[in-house]
Amino acid sequence: MGATYDALLRDTAVALAAAGIDNARFEARLLLSHAAGLTIEQLIARGPDTAPAAIVATLRELTARRVRREPMAYILGEREFWGLPFRVSPAVLVPRPDSETLIETVLELFPDRSQPLRIADLGVGSGCLLLTLLREYPRACGVGMDASEAALDVANANAGALGVTSRTVLVVGDWRRSGWIDRLGGPFDLVVSNPPYIRSDAIAGLMPEVAVHEPRLALDGGPDGVAAYRIIAVAGPRLLVPGGWLVVEGGEGQAADIIDIFSTAGLSPRAPRKDLGGVDRVVAAQQ
The per-residue pLDDT for range 208-258, each reduced to its tens digit, is 999 999 999 999 999 999 999 999 999 998 999 999 999 999 999 999 999
Q: Please provide residue 93's backbone torsions phi and psi, each rounded to the nearest 5 degrees.
A: -65, 150
- Assess whether pLDDT exceeds 70 at residue 1: no
Question: Where is the domain boundary, 44, 68, 92?
Answer: 68
Is residue 261 situated within a structural domain? Answer: yes
CA dist list (Å): 202 to 26, 90, 225, 249: 30, 20, 9, 18
Reported as a pLDDT band with limits 50, 70 and 90, residue 117 is: very high
Give residue 33's domain range. Answer: 5-68
Show which of 35, 68, 101 is a domain's final residue. 68
Q: Are residues 53 and 14 in the same domain?
A: yes
Last residue of a domain, one of 38, 68, 98: 68
Residues 128 and 86: beta-carbon distance below 8 Å: yes
DSSP three-state, residue 182 = helix
Does any domain span residue 132?
yes
Total of domains in the chain: 2
| Per-residue confidence (pLDDT) for residue 191, from 0 to 100 | 98
**In this predicted structure, what is the pLDDT of residue 278?**
96
